[in-house]
Chain A
Amino acid sequence: MRQSNEGTLLAALSAAGNPSDRALWGAEASITLGDLVRGSSLGDRLEELRGRSVLIATDDQLTAALALIELDGVARRLVLSPPDLPVEDIPFVVAAAGVEALVSDRAAVPDAGMSRVGTFVRCSPRIAPRAAARSGSHQTEWVLLTSGTTGAPKMVVHTLSTLADALRRGGTLAPSQVWSTFYDIRRYGGLQILLRALLGGGSLVLSSAREPTGDFLIRAGGHGVTHISGTPSHWRRALMSPSAHRISPEYVRLSGEIADQAILDHLRAFYPAARITHAFASTEAGVAFAVGDGLAGFPASLVGQRDAAVELRVEGGTLRIRSARTALRYLGNPAERLADAEGFVDTGDMVELHGGRYHFVGRRGGIINVGGLKVHPEEVEAVINRHPKVRMSRVRARHNSLLGALVVADVVLTTGADAANGRVAGLEQEILQHCRDALPPHKVPAAITIVRALDVAATGKLVRHDA
């Protein structure tokens, strides 16, 4: 329990640099941090949220950032709803996190699944002056959502301390830094950038899902962005924009997907003055490392270092990480362990050693990373298999040089619908349409191949060729 503001995000950002000189710029609205220090985005209802478990479900990233800044140290738990949280998952999230209050920028409770939550507080980018002095009283849990195997999201518990550990070792404050990210700040990669700006003394340009890439680049350039992050897929898209030259960053960061040599080389050629860095992080394990030598993969010397701030191991072909940045636990499923007995998190990311460097080669379990969004093959197979003319299917990754990977499917038809009837092409379209009706676009196979049979192992399980 804390009795003062000390240690809260608001106090830390104030200590990092004069808040009146710093801003959060959104696509639709902006605030200066000084106004937030003196006022509130929550009307006068902050105290209603003290000690409670609060779901932050906003349309806009700016209002989510404001709620986080104000509620750290006040709420007992902050659950950050990602922008694409499926409606059917809301009751699970509310129950698993014991949500007692909802903060949203909408005029009314956004969804029926949230209507049973007792308290609804509206958050607005119009900062109102605050009468009472504020104080922190809680070591707030920050809960991030990430995609799970079964469809229900995994709820990963962090604190400001675990989330900000990678920054603490980053060195000096740099008030002139203007950060930006293609990421949504409600995902781990984006949240890191929000914290870097707030705790490093800088400002931040937020992206918006509703804003075209070119407009975002122009806006970020207009605010003089110096440090900017995104996935390799974000960057490939940015480099295809005629507005890519509207920013001239000092620092370009890639994370969330495998950074291949081609994208590193393209970025170096396009932004010759920038330091190009690719980082590895996961929601559960936190930031593991950042590589700045311009080469894909990471030096083998990072693995097995004892007493390092972040310890890496490669076991069973996958990367394992232990550090003070690791999340505390999962909510919702007490049986599911986030780390092993020694505290190492298995990232599920498979690596191979070539010429003194480890290279990422894919994910165990066949999980497909489409432009930074995870796809579990089983989920797509279940949809395909519901089609009446399908006997079985196998979903796998196909390498793609723009998004890292695309989903493709091999399908075995029922005997009656076999290829002999000559309507296979029509049937492929029919199965694809069936997938489009049930799945978000990145999970729909880019291609379906009708095959005679699929390998089934002695265990009765479908044979998957990882990576």
Chain B
Amino acid sequence: MQFDRMSVRADPTATQSAQEKAVMSVRSEVLSQFEQVAKEQNKKLAPLADDLVLLESGLDSLCVAIIVTRLEDTLGVDPFSTADDAEFPATLGDFIRFYENAAK
């Protein structure tokens, strides 16, 4: 499945709850940071899909670390810093849910 960020932005229907909107914004913020950091670091980013394995996204550890720092600034959370039983995210979909859960 390919994400279409434009459609996410173009389709905020009036029936969406505030929580749905918040969840959407986490998703679009994460996707936007992946693209931005890949561009800055000159990395070829794999097509962004929920089942994309993070270690196969084309981004190295440093890129992911930069994304985590930027998301801490924009979303105000860093789920990697909290010690709970949640497993580390392996796919992009896991990563987005990791942030959505932390932002709740």
Give chain A residues whose Cβ lies under 8 Å from the Cβ of B89: 240
Which residue, of A214, A262, A432, A446, has the highest number of chain B Cβ atoms within 10 A? Answer: A446
Q: How far is the CB of A307 from chain B (nearest CB, A)?
A: 37
Cβ of B6 under 8 Å from chain A: no
B55–A213 contact, CB under 8 A? yes
Binary per-residue interface labels of chain A (436-450) against chain B in the complex, 1 for a CB within 8 Å, 0 otherwise: 000001100011000
CB distance from A53 to the nearest CB of B (A): 35
Q: Check B54 against A261 for contact (C-beta < 8 Å).
A: no
Q: How far is the CA of A447 from the CA of B85 in the complex (A)?
A: 31
- A403, B62: Cβ atoms under 8 Å? yes
Count of interface residues, chain A, beta-carbon cutoff 8 Å? 33
> Which residues of A lie under 8 Å from residue B66 when comparing CB positions?
406, 446
User: Would A400 and B68 be within 8 Å (CB), given that A240-B90, A261-B83, A269-B85 are in contact?
Assistant: yes
Assembly CA distance A432 to B56 (angstroms): 26
A402-B53 contact given A371-B65, A441-B41, CB 8 Å threshold:
no
In the bound complex, do residue B62 and residue A214 qualify as a contact, i.e. CB atoms below 8 Å apart?
Answer: no
Q: Which of A262, A402, A447 contacts B82 (CB 8 A)?
A: A262
Interface residues of B in 43-74 (CB under 8 A from A): 53-56, 60-62, 64-66, 68-69
A403 touching B65, Cβ below 8 Å: yes
Q: In this assembly, does A265 line the interface, its C-beta being within 8 Å of a C-beta of chain B? A: yes
Given known A-B contacts A265-B83, A269-B85, A401-B78, A237 and B62 have beta carbons under 8 A apart: no
Q: B55–A266 contact, CB under 8 A?
A: no
Question: Do residues B56 and A402 form an inter-chain contact, with CB atoms below 8 A?
Answer: no
Complex contacts, A233 vs chain B, CB 8 Å: 61
Determine whether A239 belongs to the interface, using a CB cutoff of 8 Å to chain B. yes
CA distance A65 to B103 in the complex (A): 48
Whether the pair B62, A401 counts as a contact (CB closer than 8 A) is: no
B83 pairs with A262, CB closer than 8 A: yes
Min CB–CB distance A293 → chain B (angstroms): 15
Contact indicator A406/B83 (Cβ below 8 Å)? no
Q: Is the CB of B62 within 8 A of A442?
A: yes
Kindly state the separation between the CA atoms of A139 and B62 in the bound complex, as whole angstroms.
41
A213, A233, A237, A398, most chain B CB atoms within 10 A: A237
Q: How far is the CB of A115 from chain B (nearest CB, A)?
A: 32
Instruction: Report the minimal beta-carbon distance from A335 to chain B, rounded to whole angstroms.
Output: 35
A401–B81 CB distance below 8 A: yes
Whether A447 pairs with B90 at a CB distance below 8 angstroms is no
B87 touches A262 (CB 8 A): no
> Does A242 sit within 8 A of B, measured CB to CB?
yes
| Residue of B62, B78, B84 with highest tally of chain A CB at under 10 A | B62
Decide if A406 touches B81 in the complex (CB within 8 Å).
no
Q: A391 at the A/B interface (Cβ < 8 Å)?
A: no
Give, as a whole number of angstroms, the nearest-CB distance from B93 to chain A: 12
Q: Which residues of A contact B62 (CB under 8 A)?
A: 370-371, 403, 441-442
In the complex, which residue of chain A has the Cβ closest to the Cβ of B42? A436
Minimal beta-carbon separation of A382 from chain B (angstroms): 21
B61 touches A402 (CB 8 A): yes
Shortest CB-to-CB span from A29 to chain B, Å, is: 24
Q: Mark A369-393, 1 if CB is under 8 A from B, else 0.
A: 0110000000000000000000000
A316 at the interface (CB under 8 A from B): no
Docked CA distance A447–B40 (Å): 11
Contact B65 A241 (CB under 8 A): no
Does A364 reach chain B (CB closer than 8 Å)?
no
List the B side residues contacting A270 at CB < 8 Å: 87
Which residues of A in the span 190-237 have a Cβ within 8 Å of any Cβ on B?
A: 212-214, 233, 236-237
Q: Once the chains are docked, how many angstroms separate the CA of A426 from the CA of B85?
A: 42
Residues of B close to A401: CB separation below 8 A: 68, 78, 80-81
Rounded to whole Å, the gap between the CB of B9 and the closest CB of chain A is: 22
**Chain A residue with Cβ nearest B89:** A240
Give the Cβ gap from B40 to chain A, nearest Cβ, in Å: 7
Residue from A262, A265, A400, A442 with most neighbouring chain B CB atoms (10 Å): A400
Chain B residues near A398 (CB-CB < 8 A): 69
Q: Given the known inter-chain contacts A241-B90, A266-B83, A266-B88, please indicate yes or no for A406 contacting B53, CB distance below 8 A.
A: no
Q: Report A-chain residues with C-beta under 8 Å of the C-beta of B54.
A: 240
B89 to A: closest C-beta gap in Å = 6
CA of A370 to CA of B62, assembled, Å: 9
Residues of chain B within 8 A (CB-CB) of A242 are: 53, 90-91
Residues from chain B with Cβ under 8 Å of A406 in the complex: 65-66, 69
B residues near A (Cβ < 8 Å) are 40-41, 53-56, 60-62, 64-66, 68-69, 78, 80-85, 87-91
Query: Can you show 18 pairs from A to B with CB atoms below 8 A apart?
Result: A212-B56, A214-B53, A214-B56, A233-B61, A239-B87, A262-B80, A262-B81, A262-B82, A265-B84, A269-B87, A401-B78, A402-B61, A402-B80, A406-B66, A406-B69, A429-B40, A441-B60, A447-B69
Nearest 5 A/B pairs, CB to CB: A401-B80, A239-B88, A262-B83, A401-B81, A265-B83
